[in-house]
Chain A
């Protein structure tokens, strides 16, 4: 056996390895991209759920945007004030206090209250049901209860209860994934602990909305007229609460004939 038959392979393959290694090492220096050392620090502070609630592709993208100055330090809706303070410390900026928000489903058209147009036997998907004559409920604005928001939620904060979606406010982090998922645009982000909310989204005429659902807001003005703070206004036959003015006295909820405006918390 000739010694060269061992030597050549070892030398050539080993040589290739050394050459490629040296080449890559050289390339790593030559093509080095300067990254801001604050990016990984900011990234450390963020929750890391990659929920996309901030509007960026994920926590890495948000960290990048914060360091570049494209996004404010409190841009993460999930982390709230705690994370904003930590990110602010890294960036050397004072974080403004941000009030906590939660998702709220503006519909109480449950199986007893809402009348149906037809019986839906298709795939359990709100978007698909909404494409079939606007869904199986007579009310064109109501929750279809097929759970697109439940599937969109990364935090298990939503559930379907008696045919409508309900938010668990303790688990909700206001990332906004459900807001985007709802084909009826029924979900809003409201201040956490706000006492009075309108659990209806119907802009139908009073007679129509009353026929469609016994829990609907008919726009009767009783709440708006009786509110001592003028915090409730009616637009398009639907009551709307100004959360900054509402004191939670409960006058409107007592006067409401259908209990569409309700006391929470």
Chain B
């Protein structure tokens, strides 16, 4: 039950983009088309599941025994960056078709703060290994949901006549704000 609660909380209630405002850069940058947004979403799910597992292991087996837990930020950045690099190389070699689909997004995710955010929130909430991975996957699914919905909205906005003053990014930010207000509705639910 607790695992399901963590998953739903991560996807809807504590949605990384809509209620914690993490990962805004790719959220605005790669949301012009639903197709690319979906690719980005899948890549983030993949990386966040791996990153939350790797950072949990590093935190609990390296940093805590050495009393270095105050260095978690630096350590997590190091781990996530090298993990993403390695995954990119591995996919390029082992599965060219998967690389075609996800490859362009992987370097972008290296510096995605939602990935660092999930590692930090796992640590702060004191999750065990399985809970941490579930939280990572849930957070990434929430990111994918938000970016795909947002890309759908932006595709429709393209077809309309828009005031020149708010064309492009201003309108994108306004619609992102409205979406965020809609997601605020979930905050009334408390599962954990």
Contact A13 B161 (CB under 8 A): no
Contact A13 B71 (CB under 8 A): yes
Interface size on A, residues (CB 8 A): 19
Chain A residue at minimal CB-CB distance from B92:
A33
Contact A27 B68 (CB under 8 A): no
Tell me if B21 is interfacial: C-beta within 8 Å of chain A. no
* Interface membership of chain A positions 1-41, coded 1 if the CB is closer than 8 angstroms to chain B and 0 otherwise: 00000001100110011001101100110011100000000
Q: List residues of chain A with CB within 8 A of the CB of B93.
A: 31-33
The B73-105 residues at the A interface (CB cut-off 8 A) are: 74-75, 78-79, 82, 85-86, 89-90, 92-94
Measured between alpha carbons, how far is A8 from B63 in the docked complex, in Å? 10
Contact B159 A125 (CB under 8 A): yes
**Partner pick for A27 among B58, B71, B89, CB 8 A cutoff:** B89
* Interface range on chain B (Cβ under 8 Å from partner): 20 to 34
Contact A27 B86 (CB under 8 A): yes
Tell me if A128 is interfacial: C-beta within 8 Å of chain B. yes
Measured between alpha carbons, how far is A128 from B79 in the docked complex, in Å? 50
Contact A24 B86 (CB under 8 A): yes
With known contacts A20-B82, A123-B160, A125-B159, A12–B62 Cβ distance under 8 A:
yes
Beyond A12-B62, A12-B66, list 10 extra A-B contacts (CB 8 Å). Answer: A8-B66, A12-B63, A12-B71, A16-B79, A20-B78, A20-B82, A24-B85, A27-B86, A27-B90, A28-B89
Which B residues contact A (CB, under 8 angstroms)? Answer: 58, 62-63, 66-68, 71, 74-75, 78-79, 82, 85-86, 89-90, 92-94, 159-161
Which A residues contact B (CB, under 8 angstroms)? Answer: 8-9, 12-13, 16-17, 20-21, 23-24, 27-28, 31-33, 123-125, 128
